[in-house]
Structure 1
Amino acid sequence: MTERVIDPRNRGFLFLDSHPAGCRHLVADMWRSCPEPTGVPEGAGPVALIIGSSAGYGLAATLAGLKRAGIRGIAVSFEKAPTERRTATAGWYRTAATAELARAEGRDLVFLNGDAFSDATKEQVADLIERRFGGSLDYLVYSVAAPRRTDPATGTTYATVLKPIGRADRTKTLVFDDRGAPEVREVETAPAEGDDVEQTVAVMGGADWERWIDHLAGRGLLAAGFTTAALTYIGSPLTAAIYRQGTIGAAKAHLEATARSLNERLGAAVGGRAVTSVNGAAVTQSSTAIPGIALYTGLLRGVLGAGVVPPIRQLAELWDQLTGAAPLATDDEGRIRLDGWELADDVQAAVAQRWEAATTATVAGLADLDWFRAEVERLYGFSVPGVDYTTAVATDVPWPDHTR
């Protein structure tokens, strides 16, 4: 078994290696911080499918589902194995740790490593539901953020584009230099052109979510009352031009339109429902790539401190609503809103004031930069309390075996 000391090496917000022990501790910390269920889930538990289960809100959905709802079923993600030169991806190690937790809880949760966009993965999941879980799926949570997608029907590959629509956008953004010193820059992003919007919608919209539902329904695997939720984000007016009103926003609008269409279809077919869940801000591997989001998130933490609601607590609330442990609360467009703490008028006013004042010279006093840096590092298993990073650790952790 390969063991070595792993130092954090990064290019901006992207780290080249991940720390297995740090990822395992992070999963354990998330588990402990998930609120205890009001009653111990009894019986075998509902059958759930989590798509995008290894990172961010998808990981939180998996852990909260285990703890709050006692789910069993299948978790799908797409991760890279360790090699001689590189560790595995952080999601690989987080998945191994989550599998250990599921076994300790006595829950039959299968972890599949595969391209969620492919029909082969969909068929593999359908076969498992049929053979292992009685041919009946109760819940599907969709949490996929990807740079590209190949449409199985046409073979066409589409790529996500992060651009405003209609005109260029100039915004502040946060970067760190080679010494780790913060710098606030202004960056300009050119507007979408050609088929940029269509490309982004094809990747991040509702097409694949709907394809999953169609595939499973075609196999007769949706239980009576089947419920599905896709996770999404709206965010602040400060980031709207590049996000909610940009190409990504067009994809999110398509996702929400897909939810409304699926809700009608599922209601008629199995008495089921489809919703989108609007989550609050978090530091994720995908969000750090969006101009302005890093600065905004750091400022939000500067305003709220410990009032920032972590993904695991948000997803605990989502599971309570999906399972009926708490009332289903939706807005006028049928979306579950878990972002009220972020978008409260007083919070946004305070963040906007700090945004205007933020410069390289002032940002350290306005944003919680230590928290933000640590959150980025924790995405890869670093800066996790309780981990000795001077000790060699095994890097060739196996993927969870679902044949046992």
Structure 2
Amino acid sequence: MTLRQIKPGNRGFLYLNSHPAGCAAVVDDLWERTPAPAAPADAADSSGAERPVALVIGSSAGYGLAATVAALRTHGMRGLGIAFEAPETERRTASGGWYRTARTAALAGPDGDFAFLNADAFSAAAKEQALDHLAARYGKVDYLVYSVAAPRRTDPGTGETHHSVIKPLGSAYRAKTLQFDGDAPLVGSLELDPAAGPERDATVQVMGGADWKLWIDALTDRGLVRDGFHTVALTYVGSDLTAPIYRAGTIGAAKQHLEDTARRLQQDLAPLGGRAHTVVAGAAVTQASTAIPSIALYTSLLRAVLGDGFRSTAQQATDLWEQLTGAAPLRLDEEQRIRLDRWEMDDEVQAAVHERWAAATTDTLPELADTAWFRAQVGRLYGWDVPGTDYAAPAETTVAWPATG
């Protein structure tokens, strides 16, 4: 056991330490907010069919975590989650995703029907290890959810490491930002130069659909795709307020590549009875989104407009699985993307956010944006600001990664 008196050690959105008890409490809350099954899940249903098998790539945070919890909690699925998380060191605690995964595995139960692999999903070794486990344990896979956000990717074919950038394309962009460096939140600004061609291409290599396709190719080559297989990758569209730095920027170029990949995969999987779609999720506070200029301010304004109408990742993941499992029809847009963001993109909601955005200054911020909520959500990513957690007491920081079985 390693009991430590730990502090966040944060500056703004960056936290050096995660709190294990707080991270566990976040997963518990997510579990409770996810609908329970109508009946207990057994190894097989009443018809004798085995429970579905899901592979979730990026299972430790954000929508990937929510999708994993919903797969377990509501649908009793078997399968494998993959994440790349840092263990505890002498100087720092383990990452928040490490502690969240440990708690998710505990809630999944001791039977080993859902395992977790700590590995770089971009690597060939991770694919081989994951597919070996799936083949030995289950035979074939019903669903693959791809929810990966990373700053860099090493191409397993060439060995070249690509680094993503968050920049506009074509012209410079002066962005309104939300800053938490002092005691009170501030509205600031940041001017970003446009990305060069190689920066755009590198971002596409990291955040586009190249790795998603490698996973699908690996599964099909091993004969691990079950009839009716469905794969989805998470994406985002968002408001025209953030478009210059998101949808019309380097990230948007990567997301377009992801969506183009979905169409290619749909063609590849059709002869096998499979399907592929991107899923346009709504706004959420994630470690990835906090790094994007303007997103924090936009999300705080959106929360103030919607209040409890701001749909959580648990609600959106529940909606997604209803569509994937056939409990509800697929709700596709004209580009064949599954849309979970209609609550955010409602015309009246966007008009209200636009009005607040135009009026947002440091002085007007308290009445226009829910910055307290946003700041607490950022803390929760690392297990801080979680009600009921005793931060004054020493914490057990040495937590084992769950065995893969």
Inter-partner Cα distance in structure 2 for 1:195 and 1:177:
32
Question: For 1:43-82, what aligned pairs fall within 5 Å after superposition?
Answer: 43=44, 44-82=50-88
Question: Which letter does structure 2 place at the counterpart of 1:194?
Answer: G
Q: Which residue number corresponds to residue 262 of structure 1?
A: 265
Q: Which of 120, 124, 131 in structure 1 is aligned with 2:125?
A: 120
Deviation string 1:192-214 (CA, Å, 9 cap, x unpaired) is 11311110000000000000000
Deviation string 1:265-291 (CA, Å, 9 cap, x unpaired) is 1011x1010011100000000000000
What's the secondary structure of 2:85's corresponding residue?
A: coil
Identity of matched residues, %: 60
Q: Which of 306, 331, 334 in structure 2 is aligned with 1:332?
A: 334
Question: For 1:117-266, what aligned pairs fall within 5 Å after superposition?
Answer: 117-133=122-138, 135-178=139-182, 180-266=183-269
Q: Which residue number corresponds to residue 26 of structure 1?
A: 26
Question: For 1:73-92, what aligned pairs fall within 5 Å after superposition?
Answer: 73-92=79-98
Question: Which letter does structure 1 place at the counterpart of 2:75?
Answer: A
What's the secondary structure of 2:256's corresponding residue?
A: helix
What's the secondary structure of 2:51's corresponding residue?
A: coil
Contact 1:22–1:378 (8 Å) recurs in 2: yes
- Give the C-alpha shift of residue 37 in structure 1: 3.5
What's the secondary structure of 2:197's corresponding residue?
A: coil
- Give the C-alpha shift of residue 35 in structure 1: 2.3
- Give the C-alpha shift of residue 68 in structure 1: 2.1
Q: Which residue number corresponds to residue 17 of structure 2?
A: 17
Question: Which letter does structure 2 place at the counterpart of 1:118?
Answer: S
Deviation string 1:148-198 (CA, Å, 9 cap, x unpaired) is 0000000011011101110001120000123x3111012111001131111
Contact 1:70–1:107 (8 Å) recurs in 2: no
Deviation string 1:370-401 (CA, Å, 9 cap, x unpaired) is 10110000000011111111111110100001
Inter-partner Cα distance in structure 2 for 1:233 and 1:74:
24
Inter-partner Cα distance in structure 2 for 1:234 and 1:138:
27
Contact 1:126–1:216 (8 Å) recurs in 2: yes
Question: Which letter does structure 1 place at the counterpart of 2:224?
Answer: L
Question: For 1:241-390, what aligned pairs fall within 5 Å after superposition?
Answer: 241-268=244-271, 270-390=272-392
Inter-partner Cα distance in structure 2 for 1:136 and 1:70:
17
Contact 2:112–2:404 (8 Å) recurs in 1: no
- Give the C-alpha shift of residue 11 in structure 1: 2.1
- Give the C-alpha shift of residue 5 in structure 1: 2.1
- Give the C-alpha shift of residue 363 in structure 1: 0.6
- Give the C-alpha shift of residue 41 in structure 1: 4.1
- Give the C-alpha shift of residue 38 in structure 1: 4.5
Contact 2:11–2:181 (8 Å) recurs in 1: no
The alignment's TM-score, normalised by the length of structure 1, stands at 0.97
Deviation string 1:115-156 (CA, Å, 9 cap, x unpaired) is 0000100000110111111x2111100000000000000001
Contact 1:69–1:323 (8 Å) recurs in 2: no
Select between 381-390 and 33-42 the one with higher mean Cα deviation: 33-42
Question: Which letter does structure 2 place at the counterpart of 1:72?
Answer: R
Inter-partner Cα distance in structure 2 for 1:398 and 1:70:
24
What's the secondary structure of 1:14's corresponding residue?
A: coil
Deviation string 1:321-340 (CA, Å, 9 cap, x unpaired) is 00111111111111100000
- Give the C-alpha shift of residue 251 in structure 1: 0.4
Q: Which residue number corresponds to residue 398 of structure 1?
A: 400
Contact 1:71–1:107 (8 Å) recurs in 2: no
Inter-partner Cα distance in structure 1 for 2:41 and 2:338:
23
Question: Which letter does structure 1 place at the counterpart of 2:245?
Answer: I
Question: Which letter does structure 1 place at the counterpart of 2:207?
Answer: M
What's the secondary structure of 1:237's corresponding residue?
A: coil
Q: Which residue number corresponds to residue 103 of structure 1?
A: 109
- Give the C-alpha shift of residue 107 in structure 1: 6.3
**What are structure 2's unaligned runs of at least 5 residues?**
45-49
Q: Which residue number corresponds to residue 6 of structure 1?
A: 6
The alignment's TM-score, normalised by the length of structure 2, stands at 0.97
